[in-house]
Structure formats: C-alpha cells, structure tokens
Structure 1
Amino acid sequence: MESPIAHVVILPFPAQGHIKPMLILAELLTQLAAFKITFLNNEHNHRRIDKSAASRRRINFISIPDGLPPDHPRTGSSVIDLFFTISTASGPYLKNLIASMSQPPTCIICDGIMSFAIDLAAELGIPAITFRTYSATCTWTYFHLQKLIQNGEIPVLEGNEDMDKQISCIPGLENIMRRRDLPHICRLEPENKVLQFYITQTSKMTKASALILNTFEELESPIISHLKSIFPTIYTIGPLHTALKHNTIDTTNGPYNSFSLIKTDKSGLEWLDSQKPNSVLYVSFGSVISLSREQLMEFWYGLVNSGKLFLWAIRPDLVWDENESGQAPEELKMGTRERGRIVGWVAQEEVLAHNAVGGFLTHSGWNSTLESISFGKPMICWPRIADQQVNSMCVSEMWKVGFDMKEICDRSTVEKLVRDLMEGRAEEIVKSTDEIARLAQGSVRDGGSSNRNIKKLIQDIKLLHSTNGASRRST
C-alpha cells in the first residue's frame, strides 16, 4: 500500500556550513508537511549531530561511508579531502541503501557538491533536487568558472595582478565584481583538481529537476532571474533559520536550535545580558578557516584598541600554529577583561538576536552573512575561502550592509572599522541594514516570497509522491 506521506532523502556535504541549512530544511518539511525524512551523514558527523530534538521524530538519521580513515580530522582545510573520496565511497552504498528502503524515496535533495547523487537518482528513476548552500550570486559566479578561464581571468595571482580590475564576463555583475572578489579557488591554476572539482560539480547540478537556495527574492532577485535561464524551477526559501522560527510548531527546544556539530558555550549570553543595547561587537570566523598567531594578534589588538565592547567566539582549532602561540601580552589580557569576553563556540543565532549586539566581525560564510542580515546586524567582512569573497562583495557593494576588509589584516584597520561600525558613522549602512532585515523577516511570514516558495516546494513534493505512487501501482 502506498504511504500517505512523502519520503524525502536529504544528502548534505559533510561539513557544518552545509549540514545546518539542509537540516533546517528537513525540520521544516517535517513540521509543515509531516514528511518522512531520511537524513544522511558520514559516520564522523553522525556521531556528533544532535538527534534528540523532539521535533525531529520523523527524521531518520543514517550514516554512510565517506572513504576516509576514522582518524582523519575532516575539519579545516582537510575537508577538501572529502571532495575526492566521498562519491566513490558513498555512491554504491547509497544505491544499495535506497534499494533496501521499505518506502522508496519520493525524491532526493542533494547538496550541490554531492552531484553524484543526481546521477544515481536518474539511474533509479527518482527525481533529484539540488540544494546549493551558497548565495544566488555566488552560485551564478560558479557557473562562469569555465568562462573566466577562457577569458584569461583565472588564475588571479595576487601581487601580479590589478586586483581591482572589473570582471566583465558574468552577466549582472559587470560593474560590481573585481578580481579580488572572485572565489578563492580562482587563485588556482586552471588544471588544479580542486578548481576542476567545482567546475564539474556545478555543471552536474543542471541535471537536477530544480534548485533550492537559502536566500530570498528581495535580496537577490536580479541574479535569481539569471539563474532561471539554467533552472526553470528555483525555490528561494531563506533565511531558513528565520523561516524555522516563524513556522515552529514544536517549541520543546526553544526557538534557537543551533544545529551545531560543535559543543556550544553559553557563558557569552550571560555576559551580553549585562550590556547596553547595540554596544557589543560579536566576532567569529566560522567553523572552517584558521588564523595564524600573527593574524590573531592583529585582530586582538584592533579590538582592544577600538575601545568597544566585544564578544569573540574562538573554537579550539582556530589558530593553526598554537605551538608557537606563547602568552598573550598583558595589555591585551587587561583590555579584554575591561571591555571584552572570549568564549568558545556559541549558538550564533541566539547571539546575533541579542539586543546588546550591534555588529558582527565575520568571515563572510553564507550562513553567517544571512543570519546577520536577518537580525539587522551590520558587518565587517574578512573573507578567506570558498564563497566568502563573493559574499563580502555583496555585503559592501550590492547591499550596503557592512564593510569589506578583504586581504587586509592589520590592527589599525580593524580598530578604525570597528569604531566606524559601532558608532554608526556610515548612515547608509545603518539604513540599508534595517531595511533588508525588514525584508528578510517579511519574506518568511505568511504571504512572503520565501513562505510561498516553501509551500510550493511542499506541494511539488506531494505531487511527485502521488504521481510516483500512481506510476508504481500501474506497473
């Protein structure tokens, strides 16, 4: 007998920034449509993820192999190793897993860099939807990597190039994007296997029946229109964390599920409670990038010298040369005791939602950028890898919600930008931040653009379920 509910298999790339939005989507599909979800992680993350939330009772977490030895760290720059092992290791296992399921999947929603699943779905006769966890602007940029190579724009060699030269071959970004704004992989030679991996994965995404993006139409409408030349069906359903809060039915675990693979430190929230509104700069460089001791010191001096309050989340592996770290200078310790707080990994949404936080010094990962936008917090951007260069360009040049200090890491610049941001000297940034936050919140409310798209995604999956069921009954 055909099941009355749809069954969706969700396959993220096994990294924090990819798992989080796809797990939030899984939550939404269970809460709004009561779909059955099979959520696949590699064993490393399967052990770390919180599977206890009551609202996840319809989510079945299953581990799959990733081709790396158990002692491989799978964090920081070593995540790249997964690019070249996971499809070979996971593909055959996933095929057998799906074949053994008591209820065949209605569809597979796979990460945009897990495109082997699209080929597998086609082989099994299952519809596949691709979920790119980047912004629409960065996704559009990745579709032009081959063209950038053909035009001689890649590789971008810092020190040997006019980094402010504008890129002219990406429609919609002709008068905005500079060489320095291209993704970090554009610093690689064209034959580099990492660059080629992204070119191949991006191309394979086009075989999917639709594209999901964690963004909202009001933020990236012109670029979304360009993407529709590749994907006639696009579901822009973000900001996902805001959509979940708005649509949460089961509030057992409160409105701010962190969806974190790293244990969170709550002490910073207690400290924020004692601070004045908009007085604290929140600082975090995300779950992947690392800093040298020299970079750490420049940021630390800049923060202390700014005279502003700051809450700095430092994960255990943030500094890559810890064996040379030595003792922090006494002046930094004293300045931090007076005006700052250094904590471990935090529940970022809860921190950004706090009224004491007035700005965000960030690595410009897309989850962090979108969370900051939705909570109305202006940004100082210091991008390093992946999509971060593109995001920081959007923040400063397209949306006017922050400063971009790309490729700069000195204490005087940090000090100046922190003061400018926290003292509200850039009126345009303050105005734009408030307006875009209003649009972000409105997009997920009833009748908003993202709310409509989530409902459309659900209805389309239900249609697939009924169509597939009818097809199976007739064969």
Structure 2
Amino acid sequence: MEHQPHILLLPFPALGHIKPLLSLAELLCQAGLHVTFLNTDHMHRSLTRLPQPSSHFPTLYFDFISDGLPTDHPRNMKLIGELMISLKSVTKQRFRDLLAELSTKSERPVTCVIADGIMSFAVDIAKELGVRVITFWAFSPCCLWPFLCLPKLIEEGQLPVGGEDDDMDRMVKGVPGMEGLLRRRDLPSICRRQLDSPIFQFYVEQIKAMTQTSALILNTFDRLEDPTLSYIAPLFSKIYTIGPLTALLTSHIEHDILPSLSSFNNLCEADRSCMTWLDSQSLRSVVYVSFGTTGLMKRSQLLEFWHGLVNSGKPFLWVVRRDDIEGAEAEHPIPEELQVGTKERGFLVDWAPQEEVLAHQAVGGFLTHNGWNSTLEGIVAGVPMVCWPTLADQQINSRWVSEVWRIGLDMKDTCDRSTIEMMIRAVMEERREEMMRSMDRIVKLAHDCVNHGGSSYHNLDKLIEDIKEI
C-alpha cells in the first residue's frame, strides 16, 4: 500500500501562530495525511494538554527543537529581538539536523514542509535538502501586501513612521490598491522601528524568502479580501485561501464526536465559570474584552479601560492575564469605584474559551487587539468590534474592520476612558444596526466559503491533492 504524504508543520513560537497551524494539522490528518507538528521546546512545555497520537489523531505527532534561549528567558514582546536572533543562529541548524533525519533515515520521510512565513530559515534548509516547502502566513493578507511593498516604501523614504513630528494621519503612497485608505498609523507595527533595527531587518528577510517558496497558504476567504489578493497573487506560483480555519474545521469535523485540537491549544486552562455567568446575562448585552496572549499594557492604560467599561454601564467579561501589565506597578490596589462597578456587572478571568464566548447569545460586542485569529473569530461569530491594536498586523486589521468591512470602530493610538466608553456605547447601541448589516453580509460570505462547494473548502481539497502529487 502506498504511504500517505508526511507533512512537517513549523510555526513561529507564539500562540497566535501556533493556533491556526494546529487547525490546519487537524484538517490534514482528517484527510489521512501524516503530520509532524514541530514546536520549540519552550512552547511545547507551555501549551497545556497537547494530545499524543491516539484514536482521535492517529497520524499526528508532536516534536520539538530548542529555540536556543535559556529556560528562564521570559520570551516576551520586549525581548522578541533576542528570540528572532536565536531562531536564526541556533534553531536553524537544529532544524536542519531534524529535517535531514526525517527525510533520509525515517520510515516515513517528509514529503513537504509547511513553514510559518516568519520562519524563513526553513525555506533555505528545505531547498538544500530537496524537500518541497510551502509558506503559511499567519497574519492577514491586508497586512502581507504592505509587507511585500516594504522595498518600495523604503526607497521612497516613507519609512520609518512615528517620529516626534510625524503626521501619522498622512496617507501612505506606494501600496497599490490602498491609496486614500492606508494612513501612516495603519502600517504594520515594525514600520515604527528604525530601518537598521534587528527586528525590522528580520521581517525584511522573511518577506524576501516567502516569494521563493512553491506556494502560499492564507487563513482568509476570497470574498473578504479579493482586492488585496489580486495584488498578492502574481508574486506566488500558487495561493490557497482556506479560511477562516476555525469555521472550515467545523464544516469538516463532527465536534460532538471528535475533540478539536484547538481545545488543547491553551497557555493556561480556560476558566469556564465565565460561561455560567454569561448564561445569566441578557441577549447581546455583554462586552467581551481580550487583548490576546502577547501584548503588554501599562497600569495607567488598564485603569483607563476599566473606567471606560464601568462607565459604559454595560456588563463586561474581561480576560486579564497575570502577565498583561508591565512592571511592578501591576500589584498596586484597584480603586474602589472600579471594584464596585465590576462586582455589579463585570466578570474577570485569567483565560476564557474565546470562540465559545463570542458565539454566546449574551455577547454583543468585542473589545479586541485585532490579532488576525481574534478578528476572524469575531467575524465568524458575527460580533462587532472596538479595536485597540498594538503589534504586528493589528494596526492594519483594525483599519480594515472599521473602514473597509465596517464591522467595528478603530481606536488605535488612543487610550482614554471617555473614548472607550463612547465607542462601547456606539457598538452596543448607536451604530449597532448599521454595523450588523455589514456583519451579517460578511458572516454569510464566510460560512458560504467554508461549506461544501465554497472557495475555502475547494482550496483545502486542492492543497491536499497537490501535496499528494509531490
């Protein structure tokens, strides 16, 4: 009997990158393909309850390699540059050794590597060893296109942005199709760094390597980003748009029979008491608040959000991670009026089952950092957003949510209680009807794409068939 293909998946070591690739791993396993999911040792230890091969996932294997950093290194966003340097200097060689072993000495050699778009060393190694490599881009396509235009933006002197005298509302030229829409403040966050900074140079290298791979996988759906995709497509031999991956997974797998890998994919256990609390709230009355897994905020910002939420008069469910707040001031006591307001109509948890929360009938608004996973999950659930982006693709995602898709409000570079209160009220009351008209249309498009016969469903089948032909 002919062996099924063996795919090696390599995510960047951050939960926002690991999560969509786990969904892809599940879909590939569902099609009978063998998958090795390769984390760094730190992320493998951090993720809770990852399953071993079992009757549920008999063709899925987890492996790990070192990221080259000491065990006690915090690996937070402040020190992300150290991680990027270590991945390039240490992990690259260890990946080469592992792939060589899996490709030549293994009973089931690797057919194809699917590597995160910012793990470009995998492209060099796979090519060297004669293994086909496909890029998976974990950010949004509307972020990828400005990234691909970085050389032109640099040449024209438009970068960096964010200087002391910079007019951040000035429109950006040099990103075709985004004229009159993309402001300097909407560019990906690395554009606020100096051009010679290690992190900026790291991304320039990654983008250059991406176009040398055999194909590109995007976690989006055609009808959401057709204009942007039309500019990206000529730069790649093949593009597979297979999102939203969480919704595509639902269309392929009976969740009452099989547990989804996403249910294992947590840095900590979700506090399910929040679901009981939501059951006691009125229809579409609750604001769900979560700023993801990597962002940091100052205590002053935390208090502004807290005041804005309490002053809005809306019930709120807030995910506040223990490591959300920068510095020792995180331990300072919370003002009494906020404690009283939270006791009356708030609920705070360390972690929540986000997709379940967004799908709950009590949730009417989503205050989010606009990471791409969260943005897509908000779209699938049909929940309008208040956007407070800080990192990576979040700045441009929030602009598209507000001005292109018109399913939320953009609050970037602002953090005061009156604006927060005003925007919550707008999403929950004054502008809700107009946003829901746009949201309902996009939700239908999303579900049509992932159902049988839809573009994402078809593109996944095409991806699987193309891998089998390698």
Deviations 1:67-105 (A, max 9, x none): 111111223333332211113222222222222221211
Which of 109, 118, 121 pairs up with 1:113?
118
Which of 20, 31, 41 pairs up with 1:43?
41
Over 3 Å counting, the alpha-carbon distance change for 1:324 and 1:315 in structure 2 is closer
**2:89 counterpart residue number:** 88
Structure 1 residue 19: Cα displacement: 0.4
Over 3 Å counting, the alpha-carbon distance change for 1:88 and 1:349 in structure 2 is same
Task: Tell me the TM-score normalised to structure 2 length.
Answer: 0.95
Matched, 1:21 2:20: yes
Residue identity opposite 1:192 in structure 2 = S
**1:467 counterpart residue number:** none
Residue identity opposite 2:325 in structure 1 = V
Residue identity opposite 1:128 in structure 2 = V
Structure 1 residue 329: Cα displacement: 1.1
1:202-217 superposed matches below 5 A: 202-217=207-222
**2:283 counterpart residue number:** 277
**1:400 counterpart residue number:** 406
Q: How many residues align?
A: 462
For the residue of structure 2 that corresponds to 1:423, the secondary structure is: helix
Structure 1 residue 426: Cα displacement: 4.5
Alpha-carbon separation, structure 1, partners of 2:100 and 2:236: 29
Residue identity opposite 1:373 in structure 2 = I
Residue identity opposite 1:126 in structure 2 = V
Matched, 1:358 2:357: no
Structure 1 residue 379: Cα displacement: 0.4
Deviations 1:85-138 (A, max 9, x none): 113222222222222221211100000000111111111111100001011110
Alpha-carbon separation, structure 1, partners of 2:278 and 2:432: 24
**Is contact 1:245–1:256 with CA below 8 Å preserved after alignment?**
no
Which of 140, 154, 163 pairs up with 1:135?
140
Deviations 1:18-66 (A, max 9, x none): 00001110011001x1111011011111123332275333211011011
RMSD: 1.6
Residue identity opposite 1:11 in structure 2 = L
**Is contact 2:67–2:91 with CA below 8 Å preserved after alignment?**
yes
Over 3 Å counting, the alpha-carbon distance change for 1:324 and 1:343 in structure 2 is closer
Which of 418, 434, 442 pairs up with 1:436?
442
1:330-349 superposed matches below 5 A: 330-349=336-355
Alpha-carbon separation, structure 2, partners of 1:268 and 1:237: 31
Which of 303, 314, 319 pairs up with 2:320?
314
Residue identity opposite 2:239 in structure 1 = I
**2:245 counterpart residue number:** 240
**Is contact 1:424–1:430 with CA below 8 Å preserved after alignment?**
no
Structure 1 residue 16: Cα displacement: 0.4
**Is contact 1:311–1:340 with CA below 8 Å preserved after alignment?**
yes
Alpha-carbon separation, structure 2, partners of 1:245 and 1:73: 35
Alpha-carbon separation, structure 1, partners of 2:244 and 2:147: 21
Which range moved further: 84-93 or 139-148?
Answer: 84-93
Structure 1 residue 429: Cα displacement: 1.4
**2:307 counterpart residue number:** 301
Which of 177, 202, 212 pairs up with 1:197?
202
**Is contact 1:15–1:79 with CA below 8 Å preserved after alignment?**
no
1:374-385 superposed matches below 5 A: 374-385=380-391
Structure 1 residue 424: Cα displacement: 4.7
Structure 1 residue 145: Cα displacement: 1.5
1:135-284 superposed matches below 5 A: 135-249=140-254, 251-253=257-259, 257=263, 259-284=265-290
For the residue of structure 2 that corresponds to 1:84, the secondary structure is: helix
**1:34 counterpart residue number:** 32
- List structure 1 runs of 4+ shifted beyond 4 angstroms: none
For the residue of structure 2 that corresponds to 1:286, the secondary structure is: coil
**Is contact 1:14–1:42 with CA below 8 Å preserved after alignment?**
yes
Alpha-carbon separation, structure 2, partners of 1:254 and 1:121: 29
Deviations 1:278-332 (A, max 9, x none): 1100000100011111000000000000000110001110011244542111111
Deviations 1:414-472 (A, max 9, x none): 001111111152433121111111111111100111101111101101111xxxxxxxx
Matched, 1:58 2:64: no
Residue identity opposite 2:27 in structure 1 = L
Alpha-carbon separation, structure 2, partners of 1:255 and 1:456: 22
Over 3 Å counting, the alpha-carbon distance change for 1:359 and 1:258 in structure 2 is farther
**Is contact 1:121–1:128 with CA below 8 Å preserved after alignment?**
yes
Alpha-carbon separation, structure 2, partners of 1:430 and 1:249: 29
Which range moved further: 317-326 or 10-19?
Answer: 317-326
Residue identity opposite 2:443 in structure 1 = A
Structure 1 residue 149: Cα displacement: 1.5
For the residue of structure 1 that corresponds to 2:235, the secondary structure is: coil
For the residue of structure 1 that corresponds to 2:263, the secondary structure is: coil
Task: Tell me the TM-score normalised to structure 1 length.
Answer: 0.94
**Is contact 1:258–1:348 with CA below 8 Å preserved after alignment?**
no
Over 3 Å counting, the alpha-carbon distance change for 1:128 and 1:403 in structure 2 is same
Segments of 5+ residues of structure 1 without an aligned counterpart are 465-475
Over 3 Å counting, the alpha-carbon distance change for 1:82 and 1:12 in structure 2 is same
**1:468 counterpart residue number:** none
Which range moved further: 182-191 or 153-162?
Answer: 153-162
Deviations 1:173-197 (A, max 9, x none): 0121011101111111211111111
